[in-house]
Structure 1
């Protein structure tokens, strides 16, 4: 499951000269917490490179809900599909989680930028391929994995990508997920109902694997969660 798994960002892979050239093509914009960076169905073709903060990518469902496609953070590129194919509307909404700053580059300038730099165009294509593979994994998970396994996998990915040690020491200990995700967001991220996620979280809390509270999500035992995500039984622990 690779929904939240991108490690090397687009901006981080650019040379200093390419980063300076890209910055010269656009302007910085600030987005408030909860505000949209991009809207599904809009016709704009500009791209955004995230400079600070986190954002969530999602699509609306016919029943008025949403399905979360991924989290994006500093250095990542969003909106590139509309820039590469400006004749079609945006395929997803991107919303800020907390305040966000981003570099906004008009689509025509971005297309010229990558056309003049084949190595940068290859980075964009690699990012699109990574996200397509992630979408394939998600479809397989929805078809074959239980809610508990999907939730465990997502919590492990969030801990790996956004987690901070919840106490002294490093490696293997409790991890606080930042930004925390509400149960409704976790449900949207794994294609489950909020009720099913609440039930699975209750089971994980009873097993001493996670801790939840208002604005708090802590993975207490990352390794047993990894085993559960893989369909394996974690070892018995002394009580």
Structure 2
């Protein structure tokens, strides 16, 4: 759930969500607050700038250009997440482009400022490292799914993960506040766009999914979870990120 700045309620699997209040506040105090309009580019692939952004509200899409020149959607980021942290730490060029899905607010910090905080706040350093590890684990799951499951299961798994990471519960279901296009969903699950079109139609006909202009609503999350036939290993992998809350007692980059 996206919440106002200063609240203790951040998405449970986000960086801000796993930090203790003092560590969270030290991260929120960094940099300068900046607002972005829908479609604004926060970070651009190939650039050498090294600042990092802490998202305070809204959603952003992470994309990269593949060999044939097409754009591939890699991930979605939301309030409580950082983007650009790996380039800030390594000094390497940006490996992806980050674009605002709608109005978005973030705090922008220089790489040196972030490094100073990580040295002075080990809790933040360990949590950030765990977050990067989770993102790599997520990317590995996508690769395994490409080879082992049909497109409907791959898409359902992706939607379950997005709902559990960024979903907001409402009377009509769980809302994922970032509208993903069919080509973007196709690239994320490794399927043809025509296949995704059919799968989405099936999910809507089964009253499991509703798509809107700027959001996707999962009408029946338990049934969607049953559809993907979650194995113990997959569920354990999906929920490993939540164990980062123990930090309090501590890609894939843009």
TM-score tier by shorter-chain length is 0.7 to 0.9
After superposition, the C-alpha distances for 1:5-60 in whole angstroms (9 at most, x for unaligned) are: x8332223344444444444411111111111111111011111111111111212
Query: How many Å separate the matches in 2 of 1:24 and 1:214?
Result: 34
Could you tell me the TM-score, scaled by structure 2's length? 0.77
Number of the residue aligned with 1:110? 114
Number of the residue aligned with 2:17? 12
Decide whether aligned partners of structure 1 residues 17 and 213 sit closer, same or farther in structure 2, where only a CA change above 3 A counts. Answer: closer
- Report the Cα offset of residue 215 of structure 1: 5.0
Measured on the aligned residues, the alpha-carbon RMSD in Å equals 2.3
Decide whether aligned partners of structure 1 residues 122 and 35 sit closer, same or farther in structure 2, where only a CA change above 3 A counts. Answer: same
Query: How many Å separate the matches in 1 of 2:192 and 2:45?
Result: 22
Q: How many residues are matched?
A: 220
Query: How many Å separate the matches in 2 of 1:55 and 1:214?
Result: 15
In structure 1, stretches of 5+ residues that fail to align are 1-5, 168-173, 233-239
In structure 2, stretches of 5+ residues that fail to align are 1-10, 232-254
| Residue 224 (1) aligns with residue 229 (2) | no
**Greater CA drift, 182-191 or 101-110:** 182-191
Out of 137, 151, 173, the position equivalent to 1:133 is 137
Out of 23, 26, 35, the position equivalent to 1:30 is 35
After superposition, the C-alpha distances for 1:133-166 in whole angstroms (9 at most, x for unaligned) are: 1111111111211111111112223333324324
Query: How many Å separate the matches in 1 of 2:167 and 2:198?
Result: 24
Number of the residue aligned with 1:79? 84
Number of the residue aligned with 1:190? 189
Query: How many Å separate the matches in 2 of 1:139 and 1:150?
Result: 10
What pairs with 1:15-94 in structure 2 (closer than 5 Å)? 15-86=20-91, 88-94=92-98
Contact map agreement 2:167 2:174 (CA 8 A) in 1: no
